[in-house]
A and B are shown apart, each in its own frame.
Chain A
Amino acid sequence: MSELRVLVLAGGISHERDVSLKSGRRVADALTDAGVTTEIREPDGELVGHLMATRPDVVWSTLHGAVGEDGSLQDLLQLAGVGFVGSDSAGARLAWDKPVAKVLVAKQGIQTAESIALPKSSFRELNAESVLAMVGTELGFPVIVKPTKSGSAQGCAKVSEPKSFAKAMVDAFAYSDQVMIERFVSGTELAVSVIDLGLGPVALPAVEIVPDSGEFGYNERYTPGQTNYYVPARLDEAVLTEAARIAVAAHNSLGLTQLSRIDLIVDDAGEIWFLEANVTPGMTETSLFPQAIVASGASLPETYLALVKLAQKV
C-alpha cells in the first residue's frame, strides 16, 4: 500500500443513502485496487473529530442528497483544509439547485426546456389548481415534475394529463420543498461525464440510456438488466461532438471541477437540451460515470487514483 490515505464518505441520512453506500464501496474498491489505503465512513457526529485527528490525504464523498451535494460538506472540508475530490462548495451549490443551474447554463447559450419552479408556499397562496392549470396550458403536456433538490429520479414523474398533476406534485414535494415543472423533451437520453485530470475538463464518451420501461426511474437505474446503455451513443458523430462541447460548457458555467455528469436530451430534430448537472455522480455498478471511464479506454482504479492525487493538498 502507498502512503496515500483516502477517506471515502458514504451513506448519510438521505433518500439516496442506499445508492451512496453502493457508490462508496465501489470507489473504495477501485482505490484499493490502485494501492491506496482507504477507509469508508458514514457522516456522523464523530466525523469532524475523526477528520481532524486522522487528517486523511484526501476525502472522496459519495454522499448523495443535500448533505453531500448542496455545498455544505465541501465548505466544511475547505475550512478544515482537507483536500477532496470533486467540485468546491460554490459549484456544488449552483448545480444542486436545478433551476439555478438551468439559468446559468442557459446564459451560455445552451438550450434548457422551459420550466417553472415553485415552493409549496406559492402553490398554497396562489391556489394550486389554477397555477397547475395555467402551467399545463403554457408548457403543454407532457411535463416532467421533479424535486428541485434531489437525485436518482426520486420523486420525478412524467405527467401526460391534468388529472395526474396532483399526485405527481404531492410525490415530488415529499422529497423537496420546491418542485420544478419542466416541458418534456422527447428524444435520446444522454449522460455525458466530464473529467479533468489536470489538463482541463474533457467529455468522456456519451452514454445513451434506453430503459425497458421507457422511463429512467429509480428501478431502471439500479436494477441490472432493466436498462440498455449504449456507449458510445448511437448518434451522428456531429451530434456527439456537440453534446460533448455542451457538457463541458455546462460544467464550466457552473464552476465545477474535477468531475461531473451532465444529463442531456437530444430531440428528434437533433437539438440538444440540458437537463441537469451532477457534482456527485453515482459510482455504483450500474452507474453512468464509471461506464464512461471504461468506455474511454481508461481503468477505474487508475482514473480514480489520478483524481485523488490531483485533489491532494500539497
Chain B
Amino acid sequence: MTKTRAGGVTNFDAWKHAYAARAENLAVSEVRALFSVVSRPEVVSLAGGMPDVAALDPALVEKAFASLMANRRDLALQYGGGQGDFRLREQIQEIMALEGIHSSVEDITVTTGSQHALELISDLFLDQGDVVLVEAPSYVGAVGIFRHKEAHIEHVFTDEHGISPQALAESADQLIAAGKRIKLLYLVPNFANPSGVTLTAERRLEVLEICKQRGILIVEDNPYGQLYFGEKPPNAIRSLDEQNVVYLGSFSKILSPGLRVGYVLAPPAIRDKLVLANESAILSPASFAQMLVSEYLSIADWQKQIETYRDLYRTKRDAALQAVEQFLPRVHTTRPDGGFFLWLTLPEGLNSKEMLPLAVTELVAYTPGTAFFGDGRGADNIRICFSHPTADNVRVGIERLSRVLNQQIELLDTFGKTD
C-alpha cells in the first residue's frame, strides 16, 4: 500500500538519538512486568531476595534513631565524607573480623549498599569487551552491572562446593590464549545468590592462587556470610590475601536493606580511586543512614539479632526443602547451609521463563534461572527465595509451583519439546 500522506510521527522518546550505546539494553521486559503482581497479598512471592525485616526488633531501631537525633543530629543531617563515617568504618572492621579479615579502617569505603560498591568497582576496571569471570549461575544484580558495562561475562562451572578451580583455570587460560583481557573474578562464596552453595576452604585457596598467577582481581561479595544455619563457613578469601581481593559487605541482610548501607574493603591504591569515584557519583554516602547503622551497632546486641535471623531462616529453609521433597519430587534442589535461596533444576524440557504466566495465574512468583546467566542459560532452573514469606507461605508457594509445573508438563506432553 502506497504511503501518500505525511503524518506527524512520534516514538515518545525525543532523545533516542542521544543515548550512549550502553543504554541500548535498558528496556522494559515482559518478565519484569509479570513481577508486578508480587505486591498483591494473594500472591506468594518466592522471587525477590528480601530479608524478613519483621523479625528485626523495631524497638532497637527506634532506640538507635532516638540516640542519633539526641547525640549526632547535626552531623547526621549534613553532607559527609566520600569515604564514609569513621566510626561506622571502625565498626565494619569488627564485623569483617568475624570473617577472619584483618583490615585497616583506612581501606574501608562506605557505599549505598554493596550493589553500589560493585558498580564503582566495575566502573573502575571494565572497558567494553573486558572479561568478568563469574559462577554459574551468578547474582542477577552483578550480571546486570557487567552487562551494562558491556563486559563479556564468562560463567565458570560451579557445583555444590562452589566454583570449580579446575574449570576456572581452564576457562581463564583459554580466554587469555584467545587474547581476551580478564579483569575480574566475581564471587559470592558463602550461600551464594542464587545457588545457595558455599565455596570450600580448599577451593578458596586454589581460586586465590589461580587468580594471583593470572593477574585477575577477585571481587568477593559476602552479604550472607553471617547467616549460617550450622557450621560457620570458611573465612573470607580476603582473609588470605590483602592485595588481590576486593571485599564487599552489606547491612542489607543483617539489619535492613531500606537503609542502603554497604561497604567495600580494597587495597589502598584501589581504595583511593573508589573514594574519588564515590565522591564523583554521590558526593558522600547518606550520613543519616550510616550513622543510624552505627548507633544500632553501638547500642543493640546485633549479634543476638543475627542469631534470631539464623533461627528464623533455618526454619524457613527446612520448610522449603520439605515442601520441595513433597510437592516437587522430580525437581533437584541445592541444600544450602545458610542464606536465602534454593536453586532448583527442573525435569528436562521444562522452561522456567515460559512458565511464569502460569505462575501468575496460580498466585506464586519465582525468579527464572535465565536471570542469573549472561549467556541465555538457566531455562531449566528456578531460584526460590525462602527468607521473606512465612514458613507456611513458603510451603503454600511451593505447592502452587507444583501445579504450575504440572500444567507445563501437560502442555509439553501435548505439543512436544519447545526448543
The answer to whether A binds B is yes
* A interface list, Cβ under 8 A from B: 11, 13-19, 21, 42, 44, 120, 123-124, 128-129, 132, 154-155, 165-167, 169-171, 173-175, 187-188, 208, 217-219, 222-237, 239, 266-270, 285-286, 291, 295
- Within the complex, the shortest CB–CB distance from B204 to chain A, in Å, comes to 41
Query: Which chain A residues lie closer than 8 Å to B408 at the CB level?
Result: 170, 174
Contact A13 B29 (CB under 8 A): no
**B1 within 8 A of partner (CB):** yes
Tell whether A170 pairs with B4 under 8 Å between CB atoms, given A18-B33, A123-B415, A223-B28: no
B residues 1-55 near A (Cβ < 8 Å) are 1-13, 16, 27-30, 32-34, 36-37, 40, 42-43
**Interchain Cβ contacts under 8 Å between A and B, 26 examples:** A13-B363, A15-B34, A18-B32, A123-B415, A128-B415, A129-B416, A154-B357, A166-B415, A166-B418, A171-B418, A174-B411, A218-B28, A218-B29, A219-B27, A224-B13, A225-B16, A226-B11, A226-B27, A229-B10, A234-B3, A234-B6, A236-B4, A267-B1, A269-B1, A291-B10, A295-B8
B412: interface (CB < 8 Å) = yes
Pair A167/B418 contact, Cβ less than 8 Å = yes
Q: A235 to B11, Cβ gap below 8 A?
A: no
B36: nearest residue on chain A (CB-CB)? A18
Is B417's CB within 8 Å of the partner chain A? yes
Q: How many residues of B contact A (CB 8 A)?
A: 45
Most A CB contacts (10 A, CB to CB) among B1, B4, B355 go to: B1
**Partner of B27 from A128, A223, A232, A286 at Cβ < 8 Å:** A223
Which residues of the other chain, A, contact B357 by a CB distance below 8 angstroms? 15, 154-155, 174-175
Q: A120-B414, A166-B415, A226-B27 are in contact. Are A234 and B12 (CB under 8 A)?
A: no
Q: Residue B419 at the A interface, CB < 8 A?
A: yes
Q: Which of B7, B16, B34 contacts A232 (CB 8 A)?
A: B7
Residues in B whose Cβ lies below 8 Å from that of A234: 3-7
Q: Would you give the shortest CB distance from B387 to chain A, in whole angstroms? A: 23
Cα–Cα distance between A218 and B7 once the two chains are bound (Å): 24
The listed residue (B32, B351, B415) touching A169 by CB distance below 8 A is B415
Structural contact, B8 and A225, CB atoms closer than 8 A:
no
Asked if B358 lies at the interface with its beta carbon under 8 angstroms from chain A, I say yes
Are B27 and A266 in contact, CB atoms less than 8 angstroms apart? Answer: no
Contact B7 A231 (CB under 8 A): yes
Q: Contact: B28 with A13, CB < 8 Å?
A: no
Residue on B nearest A166 in the bound complex, by CB = B415
B360 within 8 A of A: yes
User: Cβ of A13 and Cβ of B414 under 8 Å apart?
Assistant: no
Given contacts A173-B411, A175-B357, contact A166 B417 (CB under 8 A): yes
Query: Knowing A229-B10, A230-B8, A285-B12 touch, does A15 contact B360 (C-beta < 8 A)?
Result: yes
Cβ-closest 8 pairs across A and B? A225-B13, A167-B418, A224-B12, A18-B36, A234-B3, A224-B13, A174-B357, A18-B33
For window 72-128 of B, CB contacts with A under 8 Å fall at: none
Residue of A nearest to B359 (CB): A174
Digit string of B232-245 for contact with A (CB within 8 Å is 1, else 0)? 00000000000000
CA distance A166 to B414 in the complex (A): 9
